[in-house]
A and B are shown apart, each in its own frame.
Chain A
Amino acid sequence: MRGVILVIIGVVAAPLLGGLIAGVDRRLTAWFQSRYGPPVWQPFFDVAKLFAKERLLVNTWQVFCAYIYITAAMLSVVLFFLQSDLLLILFVQAVGAIFLVIGAFSTTSPFSQVGANRELIQILTYEPLIVLVFVGIYLATGSFKISEVYSHTSPLLKSLPLLYIVLCYALTIKLRKSPFDFSTSHHAHQELVKGFLTEYSGPYLALVEIGHWYEVVLILGLCSLFWATSWTGIIVLVGLTYLCEILIDNVMARMTWRWMLGSVWTMGLSMSFVNLIWLHGG
């Protein structure tokens, strides 16, 4: 019974929460930039409007890929709420991420193609880091299962401080926030148009948007694991982390992917390694 409730929360509440977070994000960004900004509910209106648009396609593969993406994103959130295996959640999430890229590759638009190539680099950059963060959680709790994290008595942040920073790095890339918004970005005013999302349109872009909300919730859920011993801890940690993300997004300029791959791997891998050695030694 508890399982069913958790699944329902995962499927229904997660996108609502994700949409709300997106609205708050836009509002805060506007505030940073001395603008008034849209209402908090604007992301929902946007998606509703997209659903009402005419279907205009460049090929049918994009439809297929958009559906697989939202299925996988939903499934990964549900697995998170059911306190399943962390690595498994990462792999299921990857199904969606990769099909989104395949859909972008399937069109002949050069903007979409370049965006798809760049999205692969983003995946290449964050995936090993997230695996290492999970390995750290395993070394601290003795299991990859989220249920074991919740039965751990002290906050993970205490034993995995560097890995939390690594996770934040990875999440910034995953959320495609500046300085890591190479493959696509929130505003379509750059050299890349809308990157790998260029050819997704209408209701199918709406699906991709909802899938992205699921992913935001999953990501913040992963952050919450680092202070899973109390509700206050979860809310403070996740709130502060997301505020930092928004701040970084606003104060950083977009860099190049070479810089991302080089700096994030050097920093991320060495920090993870140091933290893993602490755990191994301690």
Chain B
Amino acid sequence: MLDSFLFILILGPFIAAALCYIVRIPHIRSLVVLTTGCLLAVTSVLLFLNGPFSHTPPPILGVPTHWWVLWADDVLLLTMLYYGFKRRHLFSKILVIFQIVCLDYFELFMVDHDKVFPPFVADNLSLVMVLVISIVGSLICVFAIPYMNKHEAHQKLEKSRQPLFFTFLVVIIGAMNGLVLSNNIIFMYMFFEVTTLGSFMLISHDQTETALRNSVRALWMNCLAGAAFIVAMIWAYITQNTVDAQKLIAAGHMGGIMLTPLALLCFAGMVKAAQLPFQSWLLGAMVAPTPTSALLHSSTMVKAGVYIALRFAPGYAGTFLSQCLTACGAFTFLAASAMAVSQSNGKKVLAYSTIGNLGLIFACAGINTPEAITAAILLIIFHAFSKALLFLCVGDIEQHIGSRDIEVMRGLYARMPRTALIAVLGIVTMMLPPFGVLLSKWMAIEAASKHLFVIVLLAVGSALMVVYWSRWAGVLLSAPYEPRVEPEQQDVLTRLPLLVLAGGAVVLGLCAPFLYSELVVPFLPAPPFTIQAGIFENPTGAFVLYPIILVLALGFVCAVYAAGRARRARFSGPYLSGAQTADTESFEGPMRKPVAVSSGIYCFESIFGEERLTVWFNICGGILLALLIGGAV
């Protein structure tokens, strides 16, 4: 049973990818993507119900799996090297060659392959990750089907590049499933590299000059992460004589010597998760078609980074490394939130918000108490749904109005009421109670309260976050009154993922006590909260979730009813301090000439401007990272 589950979850996407690449018939490709998505979602649920396991897969075609992994690794690295030469980028070439040499020497001459231990082990953290990756990832792939058709129609390509696009889109899902289920860190490394190559290919997809430049940046930064990973792997093997992740985590407590490889692994994770000063590759990834950004930002790629930090968290609990990780994460949270405030480009706001939330997860991993780990895991789940939803909304909006600028989205409710409402809902689930992201943030703040620097960073960061989210939600609704707004037409495959993700973001937030007790508690040594009648409680604090939901839901129903009844009221134009003209959008100025009114959002360029802050934030982020690695060596 397990064999077939693992086969579907890890190799299934690779087979589907091959089909997408070989069979060049659009309908069959769509069918393959749809089937793979459904299959992955169902299998991930079955795997979860099956419970934690450790498993040794049988040899494939008579060859043990670790040989397949070595070959796959070499093919991968050689492909990257090829692109390094093709794009003439010296640094990536050096990094890739370094990895090839290290890996082959390590595999052929150092590792004792006869040692028996299960290469796949899953506890609740892995299973939760598989659920998030498979369900959210599949929804994004489904959304991509109509999206890419429109995208290519807009580009007027002679030859469709969709086969390649879908190939790597599904490959990343398979690789992520492999990564979170691996116990052998050589396997983990291989899947880590697949996500690097996949994101590189997806970012360069449009082949414009910016796309090519940004993809190379993503390549070298992620290769740096890969190089750190491989050094960590070899170092850990020299000290502990094993590549079994469970044993390495257990060895962390032994002290000093094991800390360096753990620090390098955290470093690899932080680069992958685009933490300062490596945020530029994720911001550059915005040039790719929206499903790519949605996939990289919500359920895959960057989540691989936080997964590694969380996976090895027990290994470095209570050390200086842990404290540094908290500082780095909290600083990234503040810095990313500050820069998001200065942006009016919707996708960039989303990107900075992702970086900030990942920083918060790293901070939680660093705090390393059961309470903080709970916050981190819940944040991974809730953030994946809300962020994927928002990205897909922006993608859809961009295809309709031709811009991703928040100012251009002003009054979107009058043009695309459904999408605008879903986007507002997504924004509300990102920042307000009773929804999940805020619940996790509450846990994080209470867990961080004893760390003075960290709590100041988190307090300021969350206030900044409130600014950019509420501003956006307000602008979406900012339209002159019309008695009846005509809903927009949408493709079924566009609307379905949006609705499912929106439903997921709301319902999962309401099921938080259930998620906590079923998904998170089994992973922790001791449950940090007691739950009674939907109230999260411990000596530090209490989150009365269900009573709040009840009251706010009542208020919501009243508000909707009152707003519906108010349609019978008299309507007038807004106050413009002058005689209005008939269209209510301008007033009569001098000489009875109409003067149009306009207003914009405050972006605080002079305080939080990206150009002003990036350099300083990168320097601070770099110093903190140096502290993290230097302190552990």
Contact = CB atoms under 8 A, between A and B. Distances in A.
- Do A and B pair up? The answer is yes
Contact of B474 (A59, A68, A102): A102
Contacts of B572: 56-58
Contacts of B600: 113
Interface stretch (B504-512, B537-545, B621-629): B537-545
Nearest to B568: A55
A182 to B, nearest CB: 12
Nearest to A109: B574
A220 interface: no
B475 A105 contact: yes
B598 interface: yes
B478 interface: yes
Given A94-B432, A142-B539, A145-B541, A111 B577 contact: yes
Contact of B602 (A117, A139, A277): A117
A112 interface: yes
Contact of A131 (B459, B474, B475, B607): B459
B513 to A, nearest CB: 15
Interface in A58-91: 58-61, 63-68, 70-72, 75, 78-79, 84-88, 91
Interface residues of A, number: 73
A120 interface: yes
A135 B450 CA distance: 8
Interface in A88-109: 88, 91-92, 94-95, 98, 101-102, 104-109
B445 interface: yes
B467 A124 contact: yes
A15 B607 CA distance: 39
Interface in A150-196: 193
B462 A111 contact: no
Interface in B474-522: 474-475, 477-481
Contacts of B475: 105
A63 B559 contact: yes
B540 A67 contact: no
B598 A110 contact: yes
A88 B542 contact: yes
A112 B462 CA distance: 25
A114 interface: yes
Overall SS of chain A's interface:
helix
A135 B598 CA distance: 42
Interface stretch (B54-62, B209-217, B312-320, B549-557): B549-557
A258 to B, nearest CB: 8
A230 to B, nearest CB: 26
A199 B433 CA distance: 26
Contacts of A108: 411, 478-480, 574, 584-585, 597, 599
B21 to A, nearest CB: 46
B431 to A, nearest CB: 8
B559 A71 contact: yes
B407 to A, nearest CB: 12
B570 interface: yes
3 A-B pairs closest in CB distance: A105-B474, A71-B555, A109-B574
Interface of B: 411, 431-433, 438, 442, 445-446, 449-450, 452, 455-456, 458-460, 462-464, 466-467, 470-471, 473-475, 477-481, 539-544, 548, 551-552, 554-556, 558-560, 562-564, 566-567, 569-577, 584-585, 597-602, 607
5 contacts: A55-B570, A57-B481, A67-B559, A88-B541, A145-B542
Given A58-B573, A91-B438, A135-B455, 7 more contacts: A57-B569, A64-B563, A66-B559, A92-B548, A106-B477, A108-B574, A135-B449
